[in-house]
Amino acid sequence: MSLKLMYITNNLEVAMIAQKYGVDRIWIDLETLGKEERQKGQDSVKSHHSVNDIRTIKPYLNESEMLVRINPWHNESPEEINDVIDAGADIMMLPYWKSSKEVACFVNAVEKRCKTTLLLETKEAVECIDEVLNMLEVDEIHIGLNDLCLSYGGAFMFEFLANGLVDTLCRKFAYKGIPYGFGGIARLGCGDISAEKIIVEHYRLGSTRAILSRSFCNTDRIESIEAVETVFSQELKRLREYEEIVATYSENKYLSNHKEVVEIVERISKERLGV
C-alpha cells in the first residue's frame, strides 16, 4: 500500500495539479498561534491560509481529501472547529497539544463531524500518549519531527528516527490499530537525508502517511504554473515507482537502511553541535 501524500497549499491551481497527479490530501494550514515564536530562526513555513481557502478549494476536490490544521487548543477553538467543518474539512488536525485534556476537548468539539488527526510534536504529548490512546478515539496520528526536535532541544529533527523514539511511538499506534505517519519527504535524491532513505523508513515502521515537504515543490521559487505541473507529474511518478520497489524489500534490507540512517543522523547532529 502506497503512502498517503499530503501537500500544503491554498492556491487553487496548485491544488488541482497536486490532485491530478495523485496527492491524497490538500492541506490548508490555519495554525498561527505561538508558531512564529517557537520556530523563530527556523527555515520553516509560516502560512497565511484562511477558512475561505477551504471554501474555495473544497468544491474542486473529487479525489483528494481536504485536511485542515487548526490552531493549538485555546478558548476560541470550538468556534474555529465549527467554522472549519462548515467550510468543508474532511479531516481536522490538532497541532502542538500537550495533554489528554486538550485532545479530549478537541475530539468532543468535533463530535465525529469529520475525521480527526493528532499532530504529535511536543515532549509533553510523548509523555501522555499512553493515556491519550487508552482514553480517546482519534482517526489517525502524525509525528511532527521538526517541532518535536525543538521541544526536546535537539540538533536535527531526524534524531528521533535514530534514537528509537519514532519506533516506540509507531509500535504504540500500531497496537491500537490507529493509522500513522511522520515528517515529510523531499524529491528523490534530495534532503539532508535522501528521500529514498526516509521512504524506506516509512515502510520499515509501517507508516502510511507523509507530507510532501516544501522542497518537493517550492512554488515560491517556481516561475510558472506549467513548471509546477512538470514537477508534480515527473516527481510523483518517480516517487510512486520507487515505493513499488521498496515494498518488495526484505526485513534485512529495511534494517540495513535504518543502520545507514542512524549513521547519517549521528554525523549531521555532531556537525550541527560542533562536536
- Write out the three cell numbers for 174: 500500531
DSSP H/E element including 255: helix 251-273
Mean pLDDT of the 148-167 span:
95
Mind listing the pLDDT tens digit for each residue in 58-90?
A: 999 999 999 999 999 999 999 999 999 999 999
For 52, phi then psi, to 5°, come to -65, -30
pTM for this entry: 0.93
- Walk me through the domains of the chain, giving residue ranges and CATH numbers: 4-273 (3.20.20.60)
Sign of CA dihedral 116, 120, 121, 123: positive
Mind listing the pLDDT tens digit for each residue in 199-224?
A: 999 999 999 999 999 999 998 888 89
User: Rounded to the nearest 5 degrees, what angle is found at the Cα of 88, between the Cα atoms of 112 and 25?
Assistant: 90
> % helix / strand / coil in the chain, to the nearest 5?
50, 15, 35
